[in-house]
Structure 1
Amino acid sequence: MSGSKLRSRWAALAGAVAVVLLISGCGSSAMQERKPTDPVAVVSFEPGDNSGEVNPVGAVRATVERGRFDSIALTNADGKQVAGELAQDGKSWHATEALGYGRSYLWSGQATGEDGKTVPVHGQFSTLKPEKTIRATINPSDNAEVGIAMPISLKFDKPVQDKAAIQRALTVQTSVPVEGAWAWLSDRQADWRPKEYWPAHTHVSVQAKLYGQSYGDGAYGLADLSTEFDIGRAQIVKAAVGTHRMVVLRDGKQVASYAASYGEEYDPGRNTPNGTFIIMEKNPVEIMDNPRYGYHDVRKTWASRFSNHGEFIHENQENAAALGKINNSHGCINLSAADAKAYYDSALLGDPVEVTGSASTMPPHFDVYDWLLTWDQWTQKSAV
């Protein structure tokens, strides 16, 4: 290779290096002149900013990435703060109370990023406004002591469309294992009963998380419900119509056998019908009417109702001659005054009354008819 060619190649190479150094030098200068970066902390919300129709019992939280909250608050349109909890690391906050229906909420506060720069906390959302709300009641009430056949009953002031959703919001906890199920007895009533009678002395807790639940057709639950109650001793009335006796079993042992008169056997309208019922109500004095059979304002004492069809266990001292001998009542179980009071004093609401040997059987139409259904019939009324 000649000397002139070697010199020209070195000149070309030197020129290329000069161009690279020039470009590199320009890049370094640009880096030094760049503007400051944005803060690294990023705040996000659930539900998202400007969300509408938010369910008031849904998750409500704020989080910050690459930083922590210095302060944060969620307030309604009246300026009242929503109760909440800030995580120990300061990176998240969540509401600890349900929100209201049809309300607007505002986020406020400040977060500081890992770079020491602050960002404001601001955002808003609104909750759904139901077309209507549904009120419910629950029985037994708190701290009640009830009999071994007592169902748990939820009653609603308007028909429930989405029964499955509501049933999934209901829980029953028991101190000992108990098999049971919910059944919808109407569009406005759901009952839970055990497959067999409750074990004596069971403690029962019920939670109905109804607030924020959609009932369907634009309706939502008005409030949550709960109750805790206890099952008492195991007392059962054995009412065998043909024996003219009413036998009381307590914890498996016979504790009483009362001379009784049941409903007239040859008149279906006066039968004491077959079936398993419960003591629904107790009144020291009951005023009775039956226009079909021509009596009004009849005063009877120590009355324990066991059917809304009109059957009671009660005193009928005027019928003393028939007690233990003849069935001639209008469907009630007549006892002497002393025996009626003794039974009345021993009875709990929810005690079962098992009527057998009658000429007719009670159809499952009258409240409470839970124990007139077989277990298969009962479970078929579940919505889930």
Structure 2
Amino acid sequence: MRKRVTALLLAGLVLAGCSAEVQSGSAKPEGGDKPPVAKFTTAPADGATEVPVNQPVTVTVAEGTIDEVTLTNPEGKAVEGKVAADKKTWSSAEALGYGKSYTYAGKATGTDGKKVELKGAFTTVTPASVVRATLFPADDQTVGVAVPIMVQFDAEVTDRAAAEKALTVTNSANVKGSWAWLNAKEVHYRPEAYWPANTKVHVEAKLYGVHYGGGAYGKADVTSDFTIGRNQVVKIETGSHQLVVQRDGQTVATYPASFGKDDDPELTTPNGTFVVMQKDAQWSFDNPRYGYTNVLKKWAVRFSNHGEFIHENNDNAGNIGRVNSSHGCANLLEADAKAYYDSALIGDPVEVTGSITTLPAQYDWYDWQIPWAQWQTMSAL
């Protein structure tokens, strides 16, 4: 009996030893073998290629909060970014570069208290070509009430709608206008009627990263802040032999003039609403077809790329105010030409009537020769 009892006691001690190891094993924190609950989501995804450069990068964590996030460019520099107040999202705050690889890194703490790490990378799009755009009027210019806003591209734009969507115009007068494509490399904006005087205008062309089609992308964003000046309109009724300057609808100057020949459709000053494009204290006029080159005239104000100017021509003084004898320009006496020149702004309208010829809408800047209803159809949107 003693041997059997001893054996039972020994067996009991062995069993007690196995139970202690199990108990020791069960002393680990509950759920210690479960994966962390926090999960990172990135846009673009890890491994993505051909990523647009003009869209923000975002990192989001579910069931946790972000401790830190870094997006690094190939040069090892961190891309600017910010974690939201709720620590659920990080967003980049600067544009990416073309054809570059970026690397994600970060940490988050889950609602279970466990840490998770972010790792990944993506590559941005590599353009077949990069297209530059310029914007007119430029910053701080004061221009006339007929000025069009112009965006010019150094290559043809296939996807005009994509480019136009990146263009916005705001102004202090809350005047609405429309963009119109004059050709594949140039889009203009104007209101239905002349700009109100003294309007402040802001233009944004957020073209960097915009795909124009065929692998061509925008090179850079461009902006402009300019001012519409006083309302000054030149009115030319060719049969009157006078050039009239009006401000706010009131005549402020009347100058005797000689316009283009009345009976020659090639030489008359044509009908239309034109825009002052250029001012030069002296300009060289050339027209070999009519036998003159390098004829210098003072106070030249161009209002059409067809070749029309308002300028001094004292050599034609006998006809000024009496007979239309020029080759299409408005000839003034020197003192009058200087007075008008000093008053003119780029963008002032020049309205011509009474001619036997109406110029087709094809010589810059011809924006106001296109009826408003037609102008709106020239938008890509």
**2:326: which partner in 1?**
329
**1:46: which partner in 2?**
43
Match of 1:61 among 58, 63, 72: 58
The 2-side partners of 1:100 and 1:82 are apart by 11
TM-score of the two chains, using structure 1 as the length reference: 0.90
Match of 2:380 among 357, 380, 383: 383
Q: Does 1:127 align with 2:124?
A: yes
**2:307: which partner in 1?**
310
1:220-239 → structure 2 map (5 Å cutoff): 220-239=217-236
Name the amino acid aligned to 1:124: A
The 2-side partners of 1:333 and 1:147 are apart by 20
| Percent of aligned pairs sharing the same letter | 52
Offset at residue 176 of structure 1 (A): 1.2
Q: Does 1:267 align with 2:250?
A: no
Offset at residue 351 of structure 1 (A): 0.3
Name the amino acid aligned to 1:229: F
**1:205: which partner in 2?**
202
Cα distance per residue 1:120-143 (max 9 Å; x no partner): 221111111111111110100011
The 2-side partners of 1:229 and 1:329 are apart by 36
Comparing 116-125 with 254-263, greater Cα deviation is found at 116-125
The 2-side partners of 1:92 and 1:185 are apart by 44
SS in 2 for 1:52: coil
**2:277: which partner in 1?**
280
1:109-148 → structure 2 map (5 Å cutoff): 109-148=106-145
**2:193: which partner in 1?**
196
Name the amino acid aligned to 1:314: H
Offset at residue 67 of structure 1 (A): 2.2
1:50-199 → structure 2 map (5 Å cutoff): 50-199=47-196
The 1-side partners of 2:51 and 2:77 are apart by 18
Offset at residue 71 of structure 1 (A): 2.1
The 1-side partners of 2:272 and 2:123 are apart by 53
The 1-side partners of 2:64 and 2:179 are apart by 49
The 1-side partners of 2:113 and 2:175 are apart by 58
Q: Does 1:254 align with 2:251?
A: yes
Name the amino acid aligned to 1:315: E
Gaps of 5+ in 1: 1-27
Gaps of 5+ in 2: 1-21
Comparing 288-297 with 173-182, greater Cα deviation is found at 173-182
The 2-side partners of 1:70 and 1:175 are apart by 44
SS in 2 for 1:54: coil
Aligned residues: 357
The 1-side partners of 2:66 and 2:375 are apart by 54
TM-score of the two chains, using structure 2 as the length reference: 0.91
**Contact between 2:56 and 2:93, CA under 8 Å: does it hold in 1?**
no
RMSD: 1.7
**1:218: which partner in 2?**
215
The 1-side partners of 2:165 and 2:69 are apart by 34
